[in-house]
Amino acid sequence: MLHRLRELGLSVRVFEKGDGVGGTWYWNRYPGARCDSESHIYCYSFAEELHEDWEWSERYPEQPEILAYLQFVADRLDLRRDIEFETEVTSATYDESSSTWTVETADGERVSTRFFITAVGCLSKPFRPDFDGLDDFEGEWYHTARWPDEEIDFGDDHVGVIGTGSTGIQFISEVGGRADHLTVFQRTPNYAVPARNRPLGDEEYADIRANYDDIWERARDSRLGMPFDWEQHTAFNLSDEEIEEVLEERWQQGGFRFLHAFEPGYILSNAEINETISEFIREKIREKVDDPETAEKLVPTDHPYGSKRPPMDYNDYYGTYNRDDVTLVDVDEAPIEAFTPDGIRTADDHYDLDTVVFATGFDAMTGALLAIDIEGRDGQTLEAKWEAGPRTYLGLGIHGFPNLFTITGPQSPSVLTNMPMAIEQHVEWIADCIAYMDEQGYDRIEATEDAETQWVQNTNMLAENMLFSEAKSWYRGANVPGKTQVFTPFPGGLDNYREICDRVAGDDYDGFELDRVDDAPTVEGR
Ligand code: NA7
């Protein structure tokens, strides 16, 4: 966004809480952290020089490599000079008479700006359950999303992990066998599909480079921002054996290619095929775990495959539970009651622990935005407006909050896609919109109430016709006690969403109101 706005000749200041670039990949440094999108598409597509001079080493990039990539991009585009690091934005207030935002930072600096653009991420405010007794725990504890920038030696420790989402699964398979003992506190089992990671060979990489234009085109024009084909759109007309064959082939390919066995929207809305796929994975889990009782605890039956974000297995996750030094504790059956000075007490036992790792996820989708005290027109706060769940137009604009753009905001495809594709689409759309406003002499843009209401209804309706309501997921805010539960990302596919956004822009920003403001700052001050 900084790069594009500079290209438009605007003066831009970026505020960043961390002391370096990287966002998610700056904070999530826990052992085993890796991206589930394939590396060759988990990067920027907009500048050819960036992929000419960068080469990913593995099929899925590990955290240090992604961080190094983002540092490389920041250097190459000379971005750092406009980024203020270690600076937390605490509030942003809109002034109607001048149509400007005043952004305030934790150290008291106030900046006046014409446009206020948030790029705070969907999964950046960590969520940690509030357990009694944590203050009295005499061991060490960490949250995976605030991992210290140093190697932690678990060698002689009894380590406990709370959480078996994507993060917990990566951590457990990486650290299982490296600690004296690992105890996993699992509330809900998950469907981990093998990622089938491997080094990217020269030949494979040469092939990627030769076809990059086509790869990007297909990724942009796809449901999930990934350039993968499916066997056929639906499983209609296929026998059970043929479906099994398709699934087995995709299981061998691994990763998100498995979710593309058939058209992903169909897999996530047709209960019958979804149950076939879910059962296929359940059988795979049973085959991998030696002890049948442990295996059954690891088999998910409470939600359909994909109704929660499907995790990947990089390192024989299920096989980890065959080790003598790894124990699975079912905290759905006997919940965690409290921390004690020596460990964790559940409803039916006590576990002695030296170290506890919270892999308990995030206050997702809205948490980081609402952590900033945002006040729009007429003194309305975003928090008050979103009390019953987020309301946006296209996930890009909010009625009552002029000149605020939210990159990968609620009700845009964001987390249901390969994120860089969704981010680029938003960045391009916002930059084009600002350029249009300058060409036409507009000072202010604001989503209309009607357009916003229709968009919210549209997103909810699409989600209701899919299987998402059958899971207690962070997609719906169900992981944070007391949070309003509403499905938040736009589930209609990045390809359809892009078309809608392009149509809106082509139609003079249909659904937005654009106008001039007498007291607006001069162009030089924008
Ligand atoms: P997730 O997917 O939200 O997983 C958090 C895990 O923590 C999940 O297994 C939760 O169980 C568990 N949890 C949360 N609170 C508790 C309590 N009170 N007791 C026991 N267990 C608990 O976060 P991740 O960091 O793994 O992944 C987030 C996304 O980041 C991921 O999907 C990718 O998109 C990248 P639950 O399932 O709620 O029963």
CA 376 / ligand 1 centre spacing (Å): 33
In a domain, 92, yes or no: yes
- Report whether pLDDT(502) > 50: yes
Kindly state whether residues 306 and 452 are assigned to the same domain.
no
Q: Atom 38, ligand 1: which residue's CA is nearest?
A: 479
Q: Which of 453, 447, 464, 462 is nearest to 509 (CA)?
A: 447
Q: Atom 19, ligand 1: which residue's CA is nearest?
A: 187
- Measured at the CA of 255, the angle between CA 251 and CA 258, to 5 degrees, comes to 45
> Which of 301, 344, 472, 479 for mutating ligand 1's site (highest number of atoms within 8 Å of CB)?
479
Q: How many whole angstroms separate alpha carbon 94 and alpha carbon 392?
A: 17
Mean pLDDT for the stretch of residues 475-497: 97
Domain extent for 499: 88-122+364-515
In a domain, 169, yes or no: yes
CA 438 / ligand 1 centre spacing (Å): 44
CA 186 / ligand 1 centre spacing (Å): 9
pLDDT band at 231 (very low <50, low <70, confident <90, very high): confident
CA 474 / ligand 1 centre spacing (Å): 8
Q: How many whole angstroms separate alpha carbon 298 and alpha carbon 233?
A: 30
Please write the tens of the pLDDT for every residue from 119-141: 999 999 999 999 999 999 999 99
Looking up residue 171, the CATH number of its domain turns out to be 3.50.50.60
Q: Which of 39, 87, 83, 86 is nearest to 59 (CA)?
A: 39
Mean pLDDT for the stretch of residues 447-476: 97
- Measured at the CA of 341, the angle between CA 335 and CA 344, to 5 degrees, comes to 20
Kindly state whether residues 421 and 483 are assigned to the same domain.
yes
Mean pLDDT for the stretch of residues 145-160: 95
Q: How many whole angstroms separate alpha carbon 373 and alpha carbon 376?
A: 10
160 and 183 Cβ atoms separated by less than 8 Å? yes
In one-letter notation, the amino acid at residue 52 is E
- Last-in-domain residue among 344, 361, 378: 361
Around ligand 1, the residues with Cβ closer than 6 Å are 123, 129, 162-168, 185, 187-188, 309, 331, 336, 359-362, 415, 474, 479
- Report whether pLDDT(200) > 70: yes
Q: Atom 24, ligand 1: which residue's CA is nearest?
A: 361
Which atom of ligand 1 is nearest the CA belonging to 472? 38
CA 228 / ligand 1 centre spacing (Å): 27
Number of domains in the chain: 2
Q: Atom 36, ligand 1: which residue's CA is nearest?
A: 188
In whole numbers, what is the pLDDT of the chain averaged over residues?
Answer: 96
CA 151 / ligand 1 centre spacing (Å): 23
Kindly state whether residues 113 and 138 are assigned to the same domain.
no
CA 360 / ligand 1 centre spacing (Å): 4
User: What is the separation of C-alpha 329 from the centre of its chain, rounded to a whole number of angstroms?
Assistant: 27
Look at residue 525 in the predicted model and tell me its pLDDT. Answer: 45
- Last-in-domain residue among 332, 361, 390: 361
- Last-in-domain residue among 313, 344, 361: 361
- Report whether pLDDT(248) > 50: yes
Which atom of ligand 1 is nearest the CA belonging to 123? 30
Kindly state whether residues 275 and 327 are assigned to the same domain.
yes
Which atom of ligand 1 is nearest the CA belonging to 311? 32
Spatial strand order of the sheet with 373-375 comes to 110-113, 100-105, 89-95, 373-375
Q: Where are the beta strands (DSSP E) in 163-296?
A: 181-186, 193-194
Please write the tens of the pLDDT for every residue from 175-184: 999 999 999 9
In this predicted structure, which of 7-16, 147-156, 360-369, 410-419 has the lowest mean pLDDT? Answer: 147-156
399 and 393 Cβ atoms separated by less than 8 Å? yes
Q: Atom 25, ligand 1: which residue's CA is nearest?
A: 361
- Report whether pLDDT(69) > 80: yes
Place of tokens 């998610």: 24
**Residue 296 to residues 172, 305, 317, 473: CA-CA distances in angstroms?**
18, 16, 15, 21
In a domain, 393, yes or no: yes
Kindly state whether residues 465 and 433 are assigned to the same domain.
yes
Look at residue 522 in the predicted model and tell me its pLDDT. Answer: 58
Kindly state whether residues 330 and 383 are assigned to the same domain.
no
Q: What percentage of the chain exceeds 70 in pLDDT?
A: 99
Kindly state whether residues 410 and 442 are assigned to the same domain.
yes
Q: Atom 5, ligand 1: which residue's CA is nearest?
A: 360
**For 134, which DSSP code?**
G
In one-letter notation, the amino acid at residue 94 is Y
- pTM score, whole prediction: 0.97
